[in-house]
A and B are shown apart, each in its own frame.
Chain A
Amino acid sequence: MLRILYFAWLRDQLGCPGETLPLPQGVRSVQDLIDRLRARGGAYGEIFARPELIRVAVNHSFATVDAPVAANDEIAFFPPVTGG
């Protein structure tokens, strides 16, 4: 199962900290996943239409939208970090 996590204002706006789902058919990259999430419309449509606001990690490492996605991966979407 694919695990998707949302942090900070993404989670607030989506009203959900994450979800677990089977790898959707045809999803091979982070970009494919972003396209699927955007297609849901609503808050997902708004957020995932603006990928410049979002950072992605695949299995705890920063990734770019062309990174491959496989079943059982953990994909996290979050805003640019503001720690320190």
Chain B
Amino acid sequence: MSCVTVRVQADTFDATHETALLLRRRDDVGGVGAFTGIVRGGGGLVALELEHYPGMTESMMRQIAESACTRFGLTGCTVIHRVGRLEVGMPIVLVLCAAAHRKAALEGTEFMMDWLKTSAPFWKREEFSNGRSEWVQPRAQDDAATARWGTLGT
């Protein structure tokens, strides 16, 4: 049985601790795929303000995580997404996928990130050093990346 952890939080996360939780009381894990998203600077960006739709966001994240577990035979996965104001250099999202083998762990991680970007209701507003602020526009390449996985299914 796989174990799924989904959280939306303002606080930061500890990837080492979350990885240890995925390994607890298991001897069937051969690897953990991991992705940490970071607020990237450039163009005068100071911070991102992350907004979400409480209730639907968690429900979509769970659907994505359960779908990844089924599709890649993961032993467990964790997805933590932060909200609120996050300055350049801060971690914003963590995805961990534990599996018996490397390919499933890494592909599961990529699958989860692609779906998160295009179907979990989060919105980013960019805040610049000159005081300007604007909502981030969606990118067509994110939709294309997700489309290659077909449907989410469960």
Contacts and interface: CB of A to CB of B under 8 A. Distances in A.
Contacts of A78: 53, 121, 123
B137 A57 contact: no
B49 to A, nearest CB: 10
A60 interface: yes
A82 B53 contact: no
A17 B122 CA distance: 15
Contacts of B120: 81, 83-84
B123 A8 contact: yes
A34 interface: no
Contacts of A57: 53, 56, 121
A78 B138 CA distance: 12
Interface string A68-83: 0000000010111111
A84 B80 CA distance: 10
Contacts of A83: 50, 52, 81, 93, 116-117, 120-124
B11 interface: no
Which one of A57, A62, A78, A84 has the greatest number of beta carbons of chain B within 10 Å? A84
B53 A84 contact: no
Given A7-B51, A8-B51, A81 B56 contact: no
B41 interface: no
Given A81-B122, A83-B123, 19 more contacts: A7-B53, A7-B121, A8-B123, A57-B121, A60-B53, A60-B59, A78-B121, A79-B123, A79-B138, A81-B117, A81-B123, A82-B117, A82-B122, A82-B123, A83-B120, A83-B122, A84-B116, A84-B117, A84-B120
Q: Rank and list the top 9 A-B pairs by shortest CB-CB distance, nearest first.
A: A83-B122, A84-B117, A8-B123, A80-B138, A60-B56, A82-B136, A84-B116, A9-B135, A82-B124
